[in-house]
Amino acid sequence: MTSLDLLTTPRLVLRASDPALADAVATFYRRNRNAHARWNPPLPDAMFSVEGQRERLTEAAAAAAAGTQIGWWLFAADAPGLALGQIHFTQIVRRVFCNAMLGYAIDAAHEGRGLMREALQAALDDAFGPRVRLHRVQANVRPENERSLALLQRLGFAQEGLAREYLFIDGAWRDHLMTARRNPAWPADEAPAQR
């Protein structure tokens, strides 16, 4: 997988995980700490500091170079210093699986404007395209997160099951609906590359 620093959409610039983004990313986490707490596992204090984010982004950039993770940070085209959201493909596995886990979050002040759909479409096009070429992307969402489930459905994800007590979030073990989208351009009888 070759490296890519930017993806662009009509309203957004998606920047690859990079330690240089630490201040904007820490600010994003601090700004959304309370709004996102209902949907996220408990986060360590380092997630809200520039130093903690610099370390985390350094690790993410190394994982991207190794081909095991892809991280994108969303910025408005007209506000390049303000992180509006994130998209991460983690646990990338090749060979006969060619799969990744998808996670994403949008700034609470920018929900409902279609920005995450726009960004996810670009990120999925890259994930399924020739640069990354995944066969499948999975996303697990709490059943009560109706907006997120509706977004995934609009993007072509299908529900595949229920993971009971999947993650510890907001004070309890929470069920998650398991969804996935397969690469529409991958023929059913085509074997994966042996990377």
Cα–Cα distance for residue pair 86/116, rounded to 1 Å: 9
- Given 3.40.630.30, 3.90.870.30, 3.20.20.150, 2.60.40.10, which CATH number is that of 6-182? 3.40.630.30
pLDDT at 35: 87
pLDDT at 2: 67
pLDDT at 80: 84
Cα–Cα distance for residue pair 147/44, rounded to 1 Å: 26
Q: Where are the chain's structural domains?
A: 6-182
Buried/exposed code over 64-75 (b: 16+ C-beta within 10 A; e: otherwise) = beeebbbbbbbb
Supply the mean pLDDT for the chain. 93
Distances from the Cα of 192 to the Cαs of 175, 179, 188, in angstroms?
32, 22, 11
pLDDT at 128: 96
pLDDT digit string (tens) for 31-80?
999 888 788 888 889 889 999 999 999 999 999 999 999 999 999 988 88
* Residues of the chain below pLDDT 70: 1-2, 195
Cα–Cα distance for residue pair 150/191, rounded to 1 Å: 32
Cα–Cα distance for residue pair 178/163, rounded to 1 Å: 7
